[in-house]
């Protein structure tokens, strides 16, 4: 039997952007996961979605891995970014754009601006 921590680390290492979420990017299963997936989808960020509802081991494993009690959890280039509130704040402040620029992850800058305009 494989170790869930190893599985999680491999997912993070092999994808530039990973969102551990309830549901999938096409069909989120909670509002918080829907919000983060919606931001990433709208901004055109290519990312791997991992449905933590697919197994109890994954659902608890990601919380233990990050020492963060909630899902969704966003990782960019191996770095834990945060959950829904943090990603929302970073999107609105432009910090998410800066992180994506710094790490070389492509995204639609105009879409990011539209999100900020709609929420100002």
Q: Tens of pLDDT along 37-74?
A: 999 999 999 999 999 999 999 999 999 999 999 999 99
pTM of the full predicted structure?
A: 0.95
120 pLDDT band (50/70/90 cuts)? confident
Report the chain's terminal Cα–Cα distance, integer Å. Answer: 50
111 pLDDT band (50/70/90 cuts)? very high
CA distance 108 to 84: 20
Q: Name the CA radius of gyration of the chain, rounded.
A: 14
Q: CB neighbours (10 Å) of residue 107?
A: 18
| CATH number of the structural domain 4-118 | 3.40.30.10
CA distance 113 to 115: 5
| Residue 1 pLDDT | 45
Q: Where are the domains of the chain?
A: 4-118
Q: CB within 8 A of 105, min separation 6: which ones? A: 16, 17, 45, 46, 76, 77
84 has binding-site annotation: no
Q: Which two tokens stand for residue 1?
A: 């039997």
**How large a percentage of the chain has pLDDT more than 90?**
98
21 pLDDT band (50/70/90 cuts)? very high
CA distance 6 to 4: 5
């Amino acid at each position: 039997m494989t170790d869930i921590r190893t599985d999680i680390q491999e997912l993070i290492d092999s994808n530039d952007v990973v969102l551990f979420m309830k549901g999938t990017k096409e069909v989120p299963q909670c509002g918080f996961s829907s919000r983060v997936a919606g931001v990433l989808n709208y901004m055109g960020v290519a990312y791997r979605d991992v449905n933590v509802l697919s197994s109890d081991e994954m659902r608890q494993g990601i919380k233990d891995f990050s020492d963060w009690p909630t899902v969704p959890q966003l990782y960019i280039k191996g770095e834990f970014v945060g959950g829904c509130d943090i990603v929302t704040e970073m999107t609105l402040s432009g910090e998410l754009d800066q992180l994506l620029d710094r790490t070389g992850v492509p995204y639609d800058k105009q879409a990011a601006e539209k999100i900020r305009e709609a929420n100002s």
